[in-house]
Amino acid sequence: MLTGKVSIITGALSGIGAALAQLLAREDSTVVLAARRTKQLESVARAIRQEGGTALALTADVTNRDDAETVVERTVREFGRIDVLVNNAGRGHFASVEDTTDAILGNMFAVNVYSLWYTTRPILRHMKLQGNGHIINVASIAGKIGFQFNNAYVAVKYACVGFTHALRATS
Which residues participate in catalysis according to the annotation? 153
Residues contacting residue 157 through CB under 8 Å, at least 6 positions apart? 112, 139, 140, 142, 143
| Full DSSP string of 110-131 | IIIIIHHHHHHHHHHHHHHHHT
* Residue 64 backbone dihedrals phi, psi, to 5 degrees: -105, 120
Q: How far is CA 49 from the centre of its chain?
A: 21
- Cβ atoms of 2 and 17 within 8 Å: the answer is no
- Cβ atoms of 62 and 71 within 8 Å: the answer is yes
Distance CA 34, CA 171 (A): 25
Helix count (H) and strand count (E) of the chain? 6, 5
Q: How many other C-beta atoms are found inside a 10 Å radius of the C-beta of residue 55?
A: 25
